[in-house]
Amino acid sequence: MSLKSYVYALSLVAILPFSSVSAASDSGACTDTTEKKQLCEFEDSVSAYHVGEGLFVTSASQGDVKIGVTKFIRDANDEVDGRNNIDAMAAHEESYPAFEICQSMGNGWYLPAAREIRSAFMNVPRRTEELTDKRFLTSTFIQDGFGTQSVTALDTRSRHFFPVLNSDGLIVNDMDYQVACVKKL
């Protein structure tokens, strides 16, 4: 290597750390809605992944909870957008801990709907241990043609959501579930 090449290489090394620090601080804010699977941090210190179309999902479970409600939340039935289930859950006479956890995180955070959380987890990096092999509650309550009522949960291993069936009109409350919250920009 010639002396000129060596000096040029050293000058590049000298400026790289400065450039990379600047780029890292820019990419750390959750404002970029073009780059999928990007881990970023919101102003409220919540780390999240951008999973597409301006939707961000928390990078770790926000809690380990029981379902909490024993009665069906009739109008919380949107499977695509959890924001449409917020009013029904807030007006319900019983506490729904998963919903309350997301609401307490601050402006814009909410408990995702069934298809929304499934879509989010399809776009989270596969090696995200905090989010894999768990069951996450959703904001979607469903009723089938036979009148069976349930809340839905997502199994991140199979990446499918499933109904948490009720018994005699009451939702089963004996299992622990995880809570992931989402925010849309």
Reduce the DSSP state of residue 71 to 3 states and report it. Answer: coil
pLDDT at 26: 37
pLDDT digits (tens, 9 = 90+) for 175-184: 789 999 999 9
- Which letter, b or e, does each residue of 91-121 get, where b requires 16 or more Cβ atoms within 10 Å of its Cβ? ebeeebbbbbbbbebeeebbbbbbbbbbbbb
pTM, two decimal places:
0.78
Distances (CA, A) of 142 to 77, 80, 98, 106, 138: 6, 13, 17, 27, 11
pLDDT at 119: 87
The yes-or-no verdict on residue 138 having pLDDT over 90 is yes
101-110, 136-145, 157-166 — most confident range: 101-110
N-terminal to C-terminal alpha carbon distance within the chain: 50
Distance CA 10, CA 26 (A): 25
- CB neighbour list of residue 152: distance below 8 Å, 6 or more residues apart: 79, 114, 137, 138, 140, 141, 142, 161, 162, 163, 164
Distance CA 176, CA 180 (A): 14
Using CB atoms within 10 A of its CB, is residue 18 exposed (0-12), middle (13-18) or buried (19+)?
exposed
Region 146-166 average pLDDT? 78
Sketch the domain layout of the chain as residue ranges. 61-184
Q: Which residue type, as a one-letter code, is found at position 120? A: A
Question: What H or E segment, with its residue span, contains residue 140?
Answer: strand 135-143
Q: Which of 53, 71, 168 is nearest to 112 (CA)?
A: 53
Share of the chain above pLDDT 90, in %: 30
